[in-house]
Chain A
């Protein structure tokens, strides 16, 4: 078993019995895809809600482009579209932002957009743990599809 680390604005695909993890999600959102029967999982660490209006960019940063690319790759890796299920975590408001602009609300928009895009892809969203004012470190166990969420002061849980 290996633990595969996914950095900010990155996504990775791996197979059972690996663990996919990403550290310190604040306003960023972690989106996992999982195919139980084929034992394949994917994790994206998304930074911004939409690539609209950007021509030259890193596709892994944005919810729309990252999820599209991760979905294509996980299907090419052997996952079955009908089996795929998703979970998401993150999208916090780290600073509530009195007098601050859009940058501080990006967490909420990230989470909303990820949910909408998964809906458009017809991938069931099994669980989500988004919002709040705290950071999250997440781990997807590809063996059983459990998503472990670790926080500072808000406990640890599985969704």
Chain B
């Protein structure tokens, strides 16, 4: 059934949205490469509209444990940027940043991270999400104020509830943009989700000259 969410991506809009994700993630990949002194690759972003009960499958199932970093956007565009990392990917990032081999313990949970690891992860994520968002702010020329990032380590379904709830008021599907970056030696994947709220979506498109 074509609901308002699906209509939002008709015509050229999907391409525009995908381009936006490329620019954001490209900037984040550059920041990460600079921070780690490594080459970072990025794939072509996927723009999708999927039923919200299928959202957790993106991250390997609703009860799969992931690290989520959420930034709230306020201003001319409202919504969220969510960065999701698998546990192994989070540890690859930590190992690279702390220059020490780190592996996740069995039965990993948020308390498994030392204070240093936890704050390093927040810092890295902050840089990643911040550079993602600043590219989007530059290209759209919108005034957007990001919140301080928050970290959660939990089941993918639980963390992704925020996506479903943001769209739950207007439809049965969600619109999001997923971009992955990979590092050549550690096979690390970061998943960025740009989740403008529905009213901001039009503003976002208008700022890019799409009616």
Return chain A residues, CB-CB under 8 Å to B137: none
B203 to chain A, nearest CB (A): 17
In the complex, which residues of chain B have a beta carbon less than 8 angstroms from the beta carbon of A137? 62-63, 155
Interface residues of B in 63-87 (CB under 8 A from A): 63, 65, 68, 70, 72, 74, 78
Mask of B135-172 contacts with A, CB within 8 angstroms, 1/0 = 00000000000011010111111111110111011001
Among candidates B52, B108, B157, residue contacting A25 with C-beta atoms closer than 8 Å? B157
A17 lies within 8 A of chain B by Cβ:
no
Complex CA distance for A26 and B164, rounded to whole angstroms: 11
**Interchain CB contact (< 8 A) of B159 among A26, A97, A104, A107:** A26
| B158 A98 Cβ-Cβ under 8 A | no
CB neighbours (8 Å) of A61 from chain B are: 168, 172
Smallest Cβ-Cβ distance to A9: which chain B residue: B53
Surface stretch bound by B, among A76-84, A115-123, A128-136: A128-136
Partner of B161, one of A7, A26, A133: A26
Contact B53 A8 (CB under 8 A): yes
The answer, yes or no, to whether A2 is at the interface (CB within 8 Å) is no
CB contacts under 8 Å to B, within A1-50, are 7-10, 23-28, 47-48
Known: A9-B52, A24-B62, A97-B72. A153 touches B111 (CB 8 A): yes
Question: In the complex, what residues of B have CB within 8 A of residue A24's CB?
Answer: 56, 62-63, 155-158, 160-161
What would 18 more interface pairs be, CB under 8 Å, given A98-B150, A135-B158, A152-B154?
A7-B53, A8-B56, A8-B62, A24-B155, A26-B155, A27-B162, A28-B164, A47-B168, A94-B152, A94-B158, A96-B150, A98-B147, A99-B72, A101-B72, A107-B161, A135-B155, A137-B155, A153-B107
What are 19 inter-chain pairs, A to B, with CB distance below 8 A? A8-B52, A23-B56, A24-B56, A24-B62, A24-B155, A24-B161, A27-B165, A28-B161, A47-B168, A95-B152, A95-B162, A98-B147, A100-B147, A103-B162, A134-B154, A137-B155, A150-B63, A152-B108, A152-B155
6 closest cross-chain pairs (CB), A and B: A24-B157, A153-B109, A135-B158, A26-B158, A24-B62, A26-B161
Q: Interface residues, chain A, CB within 8 Å of chain B?
A: 7-10, 23-28, 47-48, 54, 58, 61, 92, 94-101, 103-104, 106-107, 133-137, 150, 152-154
